[in-house]
Chains A and B, each alone.
Chain A
Amino acid sequence: MRYALHKIPVFLLTLWGAITLNFLLPRLMPGTPSEAALAKFAGMGPVSPSQLRAIQATLGVPHGSLISQYGQYLNDIAHGRFGISYTYFPEPVSKLIIQALPWTLALVGTVTILAFIIGTLFGVLAAWRRNKLFDTFATVSCTFSSAFPYFWTGLLFLFVFGFVLGWFPIKGGYGASMSPNMSFSFFGNAIYHSLLPAGTLLVSGMGGWLLGMRNNMIPTLGEDYVIFAEANGLPSRKIALRYAARNAILPNLTGFGMALGFVVSGSILTEVVFSYPGVGFLLYNAVINNDYPLMQALFLIITITVLVANFLVDLLYGWLDPRVRR
């Protein structure tokens, strides 16, 4: 308990720092939101003076000094007000995030957990049977798959399975003639649309866990207590999972905490490649359009989730590894 109490002030200080950075960073970007909004018109031909004037009148930004904007910002956060998006004007930021979050949580969240479980278990297996056929195959293929950039794997999958073979839809979270609702046909359609992006994420994400787990586990298997357990005739599955893996998993668990926190940020590249209606796409759009309110709200949510996830992992650490409690 004292261990947990110790962690709280650090947590709060980090949170304040993150919130403040979150305010400053978007404002350090070159250009203003109304200039970014012009990009849409520039694509359709030369921009006239009146268009810029009307956009500035619509967005009404930015106003006030940096200090007063900061005060306003803290006040709004305290009251849970995130304002209206510039990019998706006049949609409120909170509505956009609420619409996008379930898609990302379902896709990226599920895949992150699956990738961690599968990757870690395969890592244990590869270490236990090191230098056997499975280990060689798994290590080599994972080294490859985790070295490929996400979006590259995504484009490859999209092209091969979506376009050439035509097995999966190439874009979107659901079919063109559907609106989100609670019916089975909608869920089926949404799951069908998610298979390809999920496959991409799984292939790219699993390798890291597998390699990490395998490499942590191999030295652990040489520890005296493992040899002692073997000498005592304990079943190998018990030795592998209860003794060796429990100790070897600690670094992976830290990474998992981070990864879980980042789930809410979506997987920007994957979502953009597949036009998936999640938070990653929203974030991408917010950044390219200098959409301060949307960016701030998204960064805030991401920051808080990562901090909370890390805090929880810290606590979990204390339970898994008695040494850190001291």
Chain B
Amino acid sequence: MKDSPGFAKQIVARNKFKNTSRKSGTKRIATLVAVAFTVAACGSTATSTVKSTGGGSMTIGVDNGSPTLQKNFNPFSSNMRIGTTYMYEPLEYVNTLNGKFTPFLATGHHFVNNTTLQFDIRSNMKWSDGKPITASDVVFTFNLLHKYPALDVTGIWNHLNSVTSSGNVVTFHLNSPDVPFAQIIAQTLIVPQHIWASIKNPVTFTNNNPVVSGPYVLSSFNPNQYILKKNPNCWQASHVAVPKLIFPAMSGGQTSQLQLSRNAYSWATLFVPNIKQSWVDKAPKYNKYWFPPGGSISLFLNLAKAPFNNLTFRQALSDGLNRQTIATKAENGYVKPASQTGLLLPGLKKWLNPSYPNKGVPTYNVAKAMKLLSSIGYHKNGNTLLSPNGSPVKFSIIVPNGFSDWISGAQTVGHELGRLGISVTVSTPQFAAYQSQLQTGQFQAAFGSIGGNGNPYLDFHNLLASSLTAPIGQSTGVGTNYERWKSTKTDALLNQLLVTTNPTLQKKAVYGLEKIMYTQLPVLTLFYGATWGEYSTKSYTGWPSAANPYAPPAPYGDPPIMIMTHLHKRA
């Protein structure tokens, strides 16, 4: 949705005009502008001011300027430069597509019991300034997050009681059984104690000379561009093929798409209306893309309000939606309809109960929808559906302003439901207002994104846990159960996933949650929201792809350290 990571997607932050766009929501395109540019880009012979990558360096189109770049390499800051994620490393990398762990600073982890977790820290590693990396750096980092809750973006200390080390082993004592929490600990970026211990206020610290463990260190910084170079002290420096990374300040959809079509980037994360024409065709042999699911874009129905509190009504809405049409219109055919089980497929297929037809993607059936509606007293008068009390059925869907793909998806939903005689309006408040309406329940229906953690517990917990919701009129606060689903059975199943390390019991609980998603329809999943990834194999190969999905192709967040240690120079 937003600006490329930043204004990520088009004008704004899906590339934030802001910024930045990244995932599907990110396309903030001033549609007209984007279209104009794309069309224009096709026939242009203009020379670019940005040269294609050469000489071994790689230009990455991901960091949105606003419009220039503020220097901030604090890995716990919400305003850090994207390049920070190429420099700091976690204990283990977790592939959010399928939940697979890859050891980084730790060689692995295990549960001593379901409240005690141990990570073994790799030996003989050095920070970029040559000092050794030890288990006490790990303990220090976690205690830093305890001391400064503003840095604790993953809420670690809501689960953690204490952390200790002995030799190379770091032991985490949890408040209560919390097996899925291992992932959150594993993903935390570790910082050097000898630097951070003397920082007076780590919340406002901008870390201008980052001392790091990962593949890259800062080489130079200008307000319009910064450069990272290979860290020779990195413990896996021999796996790092690209010597230099260039991050130009992106400026949103308008110019970013033009630059992409000029081959200005070796790696980018942009939604573009016609990927073949504006990227692949510019160098068919090398210009590749992969848009795996990063979430399920879903229709949230306010379950605390009539008529959405009626399961039969929700069932009818679900049957009345042609998800293929919605997916195609919203995302230009780049993504598939989503499974109503709530799982992101194919990544999480090992958790999928095989008994669902069509992998849990509901079948489009208007006749069945009408039959369901009449079974609960609704009837059609001409082209208008009337409720049992005789009033026309209508509702509005809220979608954040600028998320052009979602908006077009919501309009298609409205069109589809029009066939049932339901009148749907799409309203597009600014993001903050949209968020506020979700939190306080002042909406009828909304577009939102679910899943994407690579871990069914985290995905279902954030969506369905009773503890994350609130009555209408009260804010869910930090809770994300906006649809206001409350079910003791759901909570019991979630709790089971918290306490068990037994794969059979885990699978059984996940199957139970899938069934709730599929039969009770707490939200209607529509289509997968893509993680946009365009990359060039001209100089480097080994990129993640559908055939080798070792990471999402995102040049931001967790994947960069994984991808930069998996690329090789083209032979």
Tell whether, in the assembled complex, residue A31 and residue B436 are in contact, meaning their CB atoms are under 8 Å apart. Answer: yes
Report the separation of the CA atoms of residues A288 and B17 in the bound assembly, to the nearest whole angstrom: 10
Q: Which residues from B are CB-within-8-Å of A30? A: 429-430, 432-433, 436
Is residue A237 within 8 Å, beta carbon to beta carbon, of the partner chain? no
Report the separation of the CA atoms of residues A177 and B223 in the bound assembly, to the nearest whole angstrom: 8
Find residues 18-45 in chain A having any chain B CB closer than 8 Å to their own CB: 29-33, 35-45
Chain A residue at minimal CB-CB distance from B448: A46
Q: Separation in Å of the B517 CB from the closest CB of chain A?
A: 15
Q: Which stretch (B41-49, B326-334, B489-497) binds chain A?
A: B41-49
Find residues 52-80 in chain A having any chain B CB closer than 8 Å to their own CB: 52-58
User: A52-B478, A179-B223 are contacts. A277–B67 as well, Cβ < 8 Å?
Assistant: yes
In the complex, which of the residues B23, B222, B248, B478 has the most CB atoms of chain A within 10 Å of its own CB atom? B478
Tell whether, in the assembled complex, residue A39 and residue B155 are in contact, meaning their CB atoms are under 8 Å apart. Answer: no
Is residue B83 within 8 Å, beta carbon to beta carbon, of the partner chain? no
Interchain Cβ contacts under 8 Å between A and B, 12 examples: A31-B435, A43-B13, A44-B557, A46-B450, A46-B462, A90-B79, A90-B205, A158-B254, A159-B36, A172-B67, A271-B67, A289-B432
Find residues 438-489 in chain B having any chain A CB closer than 8 Å to their own CB: 439, 448-453, 458, 462, 468, 477-480
Query: Looking at chain B's contact residues, is the secondary structure mostly helix, strand, loop, or mixed?
Result: loop
Chain A to chain B: the 8 pairs with minimum beta-carbon distance, closest first: A31-B432, A43-B2, A50-B155, A30-B433, A90-B204, A36-B432, A275-B251, A275-B67
Tell whether, in the assembled complex, residue A43 and residue B22 are in contact, meaning their CB atoms are under 8 Å apart. Answer: yes
Q: Which residues from A are CB-within-8-Å of B531? A: 45
Tell whether, in the assembled complex, residue B47 and residue A166 are in contact, meaning their CB atoms are under 8 Å apart. Answer: yes
Residue interface mask B191-228, A partner, CB < 8 A = 1? 00000000000011110000000000000001111000
User: A43-B3, A48-B462, A273-B254 are contacts. A179–B26 as well, Cβ < 8 Å?
Assistant: no
Is residue A305 within 8 Å, beta carbon to beta carbon, of the partner chain? no
Tell whether, in the assembled complex, residue B478 and residue A50 are in contact, meaning their CB atoms are under 8 Å apart. Answer: yes
Report the separation of the CA atoms of residues A174 and B49 in the bound assembly, to the nearest whole angstrom: 12
Tell whether, in the assembled complex, residue A46 and residue B155 are in contact, meaning their CB atoms are under 8 Å apart. Answer: no
Tell whether, in the assembled complex, residue A49 and residue B478 are in contact, meaning their CB atoms are under 8 Å apart. Answer: yes
Report the separation of the CA atoms of residues A87 and B16 in the bound assembly, to the nearest whole angstrom: 12
Tell whether, in the assembled complex, residue A43 and residue B222 are in contact, meaning their CB atoms are under 8 Å apart. Answer: no
Tell whether, in the assembled complex, residue B223 and residue A35 are in contact, meaning their CB atoms are under 8 Å apart. Answer: no
Tell whether, in the assembled complex, residue A45 and residue B251 are in contact, meaning their CB atoms are under 8 Å apart. Answer: no
Tell whether, in the assembled complex, residue A50 and residue B436 are in contact, meaning their CB atoms are under 8 Å apart. Answer: no
Tell whether, in the assembled complex, residue A171 and residue B255 are in contact, meaning their CB atoms are under 8 Å apart. Answer: yes
20 more A-B contacts (CB under 8 A) besides A44-B5, A170-B255, A288-B12? A35-B432, A37-B78, A39-B431, A39-B435, A41-B78, A45-B23, A46-B451, A46-B480, A48-B480, A49-B479, A52-B477, A53-B152, A155-B33, A163-B46, A164-B44, A275-B67, A281-B66, A281-B67, A285-B66, A288-B17
Find residues 150-203 in chain B having any chain A CB closer than 8 Å to their own CB: 150-156, 158, 203
Find residues 262-309 in chain A having any chain B CB closer than 8 Å to their own CB: 271-273, 275-277, 281, 284-285, 288-290
Residue interface mask B38-61, A partner, CB < 8 A = 1? 001100101101100000000000
Report the separation of the CA atoms of residues A176 and B248 in the bound assembly, to the nearest whole angstrom: 7
Q: Which of A43, A54, A170 contacts B21 (CB 8 A)?
A: A43
Q: A residues within 8 Å of B by Cβ? A: 29-33, 35-58, 84, 87-91, 155, 158-159, 163-166, 169-180, 271-273, 275-277, 281, 284-285, 288-290
Q: Which of A52, A87, A155, A276 contacts B67 (CB 8 A)?
A: A276
Tell whether, in the assembled complex, residue B17 and residue A272 are in contact, meaning their CB atoms are under 8 Å apart. Answer: yes
Report the separation of the CA atoms of residues A175 and B21 in the bound assembly, to the nearest whole angstrom: 23
Find residues 50-101 in chain B having any chain A CB closer than 8 Å to their own CB: 50, 65-68, 70, 72, 77-79
Tell whether, in the assembled complex, residue A55 and residue B78 are in contact, meaning their CB atoms are under 8 Å apart. Answer: yes
Tell whether, in the assembled complex, residue B9 and residue A43 are in contact, meaning their CB atoms are under 8 Å apart. Answer: yes
Report the separation of the CA atoms of residues A284 and B251 in the bound assembly, to the nearest whole angstrom: 14
User: A31-B430, A49-B480, A88-B70 are contacts. A176–B462 as well, Cβ < 8 Å?
Assistant: no
Is residue B6 within 8 Å, beta carbon to beta carbon, of the partner chain? yes
Tell whether, in the assembled complex, residue B225 and residue A176 are in contact, meaning their CB atoms are under 8 Å apart. Answer: yes
Tell whether, in the assembled complex, residue A176 and residue B222 are in contact, meaning their CB atoms are under 8 Å apart. Answer: yes
Is residue B411 within 8 Å, beta carbon to beta carbon, of the partner chain? no
Q: Separation in Å of the B139 CB from the closest CB of chain A?
A: 21
Tell whether, in the assembled complex, residue A42 and residue B431 are in contact, meaning their CB atoms are under 8 Å apart. Answer: yes
Chain A residue at minimal CB-CB distance from B247: A176
Q: How many residues of B contact A (CB 8 A)?
A: 93
Q: Separation in Å of the A190 CB from the closest CB of chain B?
A: 12
Tell whether, in the assembled complex, residue A47 and residue B400 are in contact, meaning their CB atoms are under 8 Å apart. Answer: no
Q: Which residues from B are CB-within-8-Å of A169? A: 49
Chain B residue at minimal CB-CB distance from A163: B46
Is residue B130 within 8 Å, beta carbon to beta carbon, of the partner chain? no
Is residue B280 within 8 Å, beta carbon to beta carbon, of the partner chain? no
Residue interface mask B1-31, A partner, CB < 8 A = 1? 1110110110011101111111101100000
Is residue B510 within 8 Å, beta carbon to beta carbon, of the partner chain? no
Q: Which of A37, A43, A89 contacts B19 (CB 8 A)?
A: A43
Tell whether, in the assembled complex, residue B468 and residue A40 are in contact, meaning their CB atoms are under 8 Å apart. Answer: no
Report the separation of the CA atoms of residues A275 and B18 in the bound assembly, to the nearest whole angstrom: 10
Q: Which of A33, A43, A275 contacts B8 (CB 8 A)?
A: A43
Tell whether, in the assembled complex, residue A176 and residue B79 are in contact, meaning their CB atoms are under 8 Å apart. Answer: no
Tell whether, in the assembled complex, residue B70 and residue A91 are in contact, meaning their CB atoms are under 8 Å apart. Answer: yes
Is residue B421 within 8 Å, beta carbon to beta carbon, of the partner chain? no
Tell whether, in the assembled complex, residue B22 and residue A165 are in contact, meaning their CB atoms are under 8 Å apart. Answer: no
Q: Which residues from A are CB-within-8-Å of B248? A: 176
Tell whether, in the assembled complex, residue A88 and residue B152 are in contact, meaning their CB atoms are under 8 Å apart. Answer: no
Tell whether, in the assembled complex, residue A155 and residue B49 are in contact, meaning their CB atoms are under 8 Å apart. Answer: no
Report the separation of the CA atoms of residues A33 and B433 in the bound assembly, to the nearest whole angstrom: 10
Tell whether, in the assembled complex, residue B67 and residue A49 are in contact, meaning their CB atoms are under 8 Å apart. Answer: no
Report the separation of the CA atoms of residues A41 and B477 in the bound assembly, to the nearest whole angstrom: 17
Is residue B533 within 8 Å, beta carbon to beta carbon, of the partner chain? no
Tell whether, in the assembled complex, residue A177 and residue B225 are in contact, meaning their CB atoms are under 8 Å apart. Answer: yes
User: A49-B155, A49-B462 are contacts. A159–B40 as well, Cβ < 8 Å?
Assistant: yes
Q: Separation in Å of the A20 CB from the closest CB of chain B?
A: 23
Chain A residue at minimal CB-CB distance from B149: A57
Q: Which residues from A are CB-within-8-Å of B47? A: 166
Tell whether, in the assembled complex, residue B203 and residue A90 are in contact, meaning their CB atoms are under 8 Å apart. Answer: yes
Tell whether, in the assembled complex, residue B155 and residue A53 are in contact, meaning their CB atoms are under 8 Å apart. Answer: yes
Report the separation of the CA atoms of residues A13 and B156 in the bound assembly, to the nearest whole angstrom: 52
In the complex, which of the residues A42, A48, A175 has the most CB atoms of chain B within 10 Å of its own CB atom? A42
Q: Separation in Å of the B559 CB from the closest CB of chain A?
A: 11
Report the separation of the CA atoms of residues A170 and B44 in the bound assembly, to the nearest whole angstrom: 15
